[in-house]
A and B are shown apart, each in its own frame.
Chain A
């Protein structure tokens, strides 16, 4: 089965708190890519990061960081010192090459609300 699970439906934090969004994926493929996208209230999904299955290095970009652990099939996303502008729905996605085609599978999303 190929699946992405984002168990947290909604998270509410106060500005400047750190917050971690969880993502667990399932696949039997050994080669795949993982993505995080942000969907602000305007509706358009915005790409945040891509990670391939052979690269388990964590990544930091400003206040954002990602922790990829193949052993637990997780690709978690942490926002440090959250800001109101971080309020959005965040999606984790799994990209596979299956049946001759590229398949992009999304999780259900986590709605993050950052309050002043």
Chain B
């Protein structure tokens, strides 16, 4: 079974803190994604990576950065957390082909206070 694992299920951070969300997949997938899920807005793409050290901005990259030093690991970084970044964050991975389905982690619910 494909497994995508996010390091934390719940996180509470203070405004201004630097926050790292980690995601690991075990199926040697080329593509990895970070989405943000908010009620009524669905899943919005923050960043994605199609190879090690390669990254592309999604639809809402402001306030975020990413790192992919190894193929299996994709990190989302909030440089200075703000309350409007309180949300559910979902990591996903897929094979390079755009016709294949994505596999998702269980999500990290981040609260910034």
> Is there an interface contact between B42 and A108, defined as CB atoms closer than 8 Å?
yes
> Is there an interface contact between B90 and A45, defined as CB atoms closer than 8 Å?
yes
**Shortest beta-carbon distance, A51 to chain B, in Å?**
10
> Is there an interface contact between A44 and B42, defined as CB atoms closer than 8 Å?
no
Category for how many chain A residues contact B: 20 to 34
**Shortest beta-carbon distance, A16 to chain B, in Å?**
29
**Shortest beta-carbon distance, B90 to chain A, in Å?**
7
Tell me which of B45, B48, B98, B104 contacts A96 (CB under 8 A). Answer: B98
> Is there an interface contact between B105 and A102, defined as CB atoms closer than 8 Å?
no
A27 proximity list for chain B (CB < 8 A) = none
Is there a chain A Cβ closer than 8 Å to B12's Cβ? no
> Is there an interface contact between A50 and B105, defined as CB atoms closer than 8 Å?
no
A8 proximity list for chain B (CB < 8 A) = none
**Shortest beta-carbon distance, B74 to chain A, in Å?**
15
A57 proximity list for chain B (CB < 8 A) = none
**Shortest beta-carbon distance, B29 to chain A, in Å?**
11
* A9-B40, A35-B101, A47-B101 known; A102+B106 contact, CB < 8 A: no
**A108–B38 alpha-carbon span in the complex (Å):** 9
B40 proximity list for chain A (CB < 8 A) = 9, 108
Is there a chain A Cβ closer than 8 Å to B88's Cβ? yes
> Is there an interface contact between A33 and B42, defined as CB atoms closer than 8 Å?
no
> Is there an interface contact between A102 and B104, defined as CB atoms closer than 8 Å?
no
B94 proximity list for chain A (CB < 8 A) = 102, 104
B41 proximity list for chain A (CB < 8 A) = 108
**A43–B41 alpha-carbon span in the complex (Å):** 16
> Is there an interface contact between A97 and B98, defined as CB atoms closer than 8 Å?
yes
Q: Which residues of B contact A (CB under 8 A)?
A: 31, 33, 35, 40-45, 48, 50, 56, 88, 90, 92, 94, 96-107
Residue contacts A-B, CB under 8 angstroms, 9 given: A6-B42, A9-B40, A43-B106, A44-B106, A91-B42, A101-B50, A103-B45, A104-B33, A106-B43
